[in-house]
């Protein structure tokens, strides 16, 4: 018996820093006529200071992101999921991945209390797309997009983030998951790469699937 093909109305795109989440979300908007929700990275008043001094600013940065992400997901649940296709450039659990990576033990215990109170209220996507890439590729993409506050990012930190995301999605089973290796493709500049990716999204089966394109 073949697996059922899903028709996702709520898609979350995930990946480490520089994976291409926002770029893909904007392209999916055009493809599906979707409503797009983008993470408000630049509105976090602590993010630039965090990259300069992680030890001092990690807790403030993380709590701001947690509450911001929660507010976006709650607004999404109330207004959009029954009216249109929605594409968002992060999974709510993303916050906890960074918290585990960035916070001291005593900070994380407090953080986890807050997270556990609110996380169950966040709606689950119909499909999660995880954009996978090597740390070297991520570093190239981060450098290319030229965000000033990311210029202070330690390459070792990005490598730790990348490993944390790969580990999280290795065990992830909450929703259907499509893992895409993006090392050899450019879905922004190459139409054929985007078309193949869209076909894979449209044909995705319930469960976990890996897509490892060779590029064009």
Q: How far lies 125's CA from each of 63, 81, 111, 112, in Å?
A: 23, 10, 24, 22
Bridging pattern class, strands 177-181 and 10-15: unpaired
> CB–CB of 142/158 below 8 Å?
yes
**Contacts with 117 (C-beta within 8 Å, 6 or more apart), sequence order:** none
Question: Looking at the DSSP assignment, which residues form a beta bridge with residue 127?
Answer: 11
Catalytic, 105? Answer no
What is the spatial distance between Cα 182 and Cα 13, in angstroms, rounded to a whole number? Answer: 13
> CB–CB of 178/128 below 8 Å?
yes
In the set 80, 89, 126, 193, the catalytic residue is 89
| Three-state secondary-structure class, residue 90 | coil
Task: Report the catalytic residues.
Answer: 89
């Amino acid at each position: 018996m073949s697996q059922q093909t899903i028709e996702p109305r709520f898609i979350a795109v995930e990946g480490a820093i520089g994976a291409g989440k926002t770029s893909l979300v904007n392209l999916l908007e055009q493809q599906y006529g979707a409503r797009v929700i983008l993470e408000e990275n630049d509105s976090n008043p602590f993010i630039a200071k965090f990259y300069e001094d992680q030890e001092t600013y990690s807790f403030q940065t993380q709590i701001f992101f947690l509450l911001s992400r929660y507010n976006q997901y709650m607004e999404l649940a109330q207004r959009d999921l029954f009216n249109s296709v929605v594409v968002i450039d992060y999974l709510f659990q993303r916050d906890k991945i960074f918290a585990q990576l960035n916070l001291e033990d005593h900070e994380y215990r407090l953080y986890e209390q807050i997270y556990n109170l609110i996380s169950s209220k966040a709606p689950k996507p119909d499909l999660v797309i995880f954009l996978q890439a090597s740390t070297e590729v991520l570093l190239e993409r981060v450098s290319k997009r030229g965000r000033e506050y990311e210029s202070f990012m330690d390459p070792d930190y990005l490598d730790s983030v990348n490993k944390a995301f790969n580990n999280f999605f290795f065990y992830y089973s909450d929703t259907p998951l499509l893992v895409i290796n993006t090392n050899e493709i450019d879905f922004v500049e190459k139409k054929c790469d985007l078309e193949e990716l869209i076909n894979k999204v449209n044909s995705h089966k319930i469960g976990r699937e890996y897509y490892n394109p060779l590029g064009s």
